[in-house]
Structure 1
Amino acid sequence: MEFAPGISQLAGLLSDPGRAAMLWALMDGSARPAGELALIAGLSASSTSGHLARLSEGGLLAVETRGRNRYYRLAAPEIGVAIEALATASLASQPPRMRAVPVSRTAPPALRQARTCYDHLAGELAVGLFERMSQAGWFAVAGSHVDLTPDGAQAMAQLGIDLDAARRKRRQFACTCPDWSERKPHLGGALGAALLDAMLTRGWMEPTSTSRALRVTPHGQREIEKVAMSA
């Protein structure tokens, strides 16, 4: 019998709302005590203890001892990647609704502001950029398909993006990607990845060591605010 990843085991651990709430609270890379996680999940101390034991035994959480207290954190960055992917898939699979879906107020602040989504930028910053770029006439958007206009091509080149290299990638050049925290689209595809690379190269933002959150530098904050604002 060929080896198969323990997907069903992982899915079982994530299927409980209380455990999911506790994992979600740790997405920012923090380590939190059981009492704080109990309040976040709305569970009793005994129930929380049992859930944390299952998550630890299942390899999703690591435990740190600080004096008399035990703190829990995600066991590996890949755990956060998996949870974020599920959150994105959950949003993308929702049937269209007439009413607006509210933004996620439970997302850790650092992740909500700016983070990586696979290899492109996501979060409040990414959604705002995509809206401004679209309003400035950089993109022609039809559903999930995104075309770069001549004005957009010139502007992207000025940001240091090699459009020819992006188009040679064996993937979709540009598309919308559902943002699970803002419930609006941000820019995905090869162009989205190239935009993030350019922003990192210019020192506008920096990766963090504990999560997928990105830190926007003071210089980057000033420069990003200027993008697509003159049109």
Structure 2
Amino acid sequence: MISASNLASLAGLLADETRAAICLALLDGRAWTAGELAAHTRVAPSTATGHLHRLVDGGLLVQRRQGRHRYVQLADPSVAHLLESLVAGLDLRPAPPRGLRAATASAALRRGRTCYDHLAGRLGVAVTDAMTGAGLLDQRGGFALTPAGLGWLTETLGVRPAALRSGNRPLARGCLDWTERRQHLAGSAGARLCETFLGNGWIARIGSGRAVRPTPSGRAALRDLLGLTDLD
């Protein structure tokens, strides 16, 4: 049973700007070190470590060791969904220009990005719409992969059926895109789709952040597979 104190505790974790910035950075789905997050949020390493302990204790992050290094990442896809939903619910008014680099980075995120482990931005919405138009995805009354869609993922794209059965995670779920204000495909199908696109070199990350863009081979593949041509 969810209590008011549980909800208040969660709100308190995200009420701090540095902790919120850490969570948003981890929406790229990758594991970061405390030092990387300290540099990203522009706080002292000791300050970042204190915030990370609170986020781990609160269940939003998990911590893993690899050799001498300690990494943190979002606890699971449900945390990513919570964060994206909260951001999508904000009244995001245009901010004053912050310089060419910031404007370029913002535009890249809007064009295409990863939302934890699936595609978002205009690219993610375009792929979702194209799958719906091709009868691979049914958005009537919710999100559902059609039999044709399941066959397309497993036979055409080579996704292992077992990889689509990931615990209690839904096969297909709509995720409200905070820049497009429309739904993109999440769930295990969305994760495997993004994984395949990255693995095939059809999309590539821009720098070290969440932004992604189609490669020349990816543009050709998306045109052939889904009829997508306008990906700018």
Q: Say yes or no: TM over 0.5.
A: yes
Q: Which residue of structure 2 aligns with residue 182 of structure 1?
A: 180
Unaligned runs of at least 5 residues, structure 1:
15-19, 28-57, 64-76, 95-100
In the alignment, which of 186, 197, 200 is matched to residue 199 of structure 1? 197
How far apart, CA to CA, are the structure 2 residues paired with 1:110 and 1:183?
17
In the alignment, which of 8, 11, 15 is matched to residue 15 of structure 2? 11
TM-score normalized by the length of structure 1: 0.57
Q: Which amino acid in 1 is paired with 2:17? A: L
How far apart, CA to CA, are the structure 2 residues paired with 1:104 and 1:112?
15
How far apart, CA to CA, are the structure 2 residues paired with 1:104 and 1:161?
40
Task: Check whether the contact 1:169–1:190 (CA below 8 A) recurs between aligned residues.
Answer: no
Q: Which residue of structure 2 aligns with residue 219 of structure 1?
A: 217
Q: Which amino acid in 1 is paired with 2:147? A: P
Q: Which residue of structure 1 aligns with residue 208 of structure 2?
A: 210
In the alignment, which of 142, 148, 151 is matched to residue 151 of structure 1? 148
Bigger radius of gyration among the two: 1
Whether 2:129 is the aligned partner of 1:125: answer no
For 1:116-175, what per-residue CA distance to the aligned partner results, in whole angstroms no more than 9, with x for missing partners?
Answer: 1111111101101111111111122244432x2222222222022223321244311111
Q: Which amino acid in 2 is paired with 1:62? A: R
Matched position secondary structure for 2:204: strand
**Identical-pair percentage:** 34
Whether 2:69 is the aligned partner of 1:89: answer no
TM-score normalized by the length of structure 2: 0.57
Q: 1:6 to 1:194 in 2, by over 3 A?
A: closer
Whether 2:113 is the aligned partner of 1:115: answer yes
Stretch deviating more after TM superposition (207-216 or 122-131): 207-216
How far apart, CA to CA, are the structure 1 residues paired with 2:186 and 2:158?
18
Matched position secondary structure for 2:15: helix
Q: 1:173 to 1:84 in 2, by over 3 A?
A: closer
How far apart, CA to CA, are the structure 2 residues paired with 1:85 and 1:173?
18
Whether 2:58 is the aligned partner of 1:61: answer no
Q: Which residue of structure 1 aligns with residue 59 of structure 2?
A: none
Unaligned runs of at least 5 residues, structure 2:
1-8, 26-37, 44-71, 74-78, 96-104
Task: Check whether the contact 1:178–1:185 (CA below 8 A) recurs between aligned residues.
Answer: yes
Q: Which residue of structure 1 aligns with residue 69 of structure 2?
A: none
Task: Check whether the contact 1:104–1:182 (CA below 8 A) recurs between aligned residues.
Answer: no
Matched position secondary structure for 1:154: helix
Task: Check whether the contact 1:116–1:214 (CA below 8 A) recurs between aligned residues.
Answer: yes
Q: Which amino acid in 2 is paired with 1:184? A: R
Q: Which has the higher helix share?
A: 2
Q: 1:229 to 1:83 in 2, by over 3 A?
A: closer
**How many residue pairs end up in the alignment?**
168
How far apart, CA to CA, are the structure 2 residues paired with 1:202 and 1:226?
15
How far apart, CA to CA, are the structure 2 residues paired with 1:169 and 1:9?
27
Aligned-residue offset at 1:59: 7.9
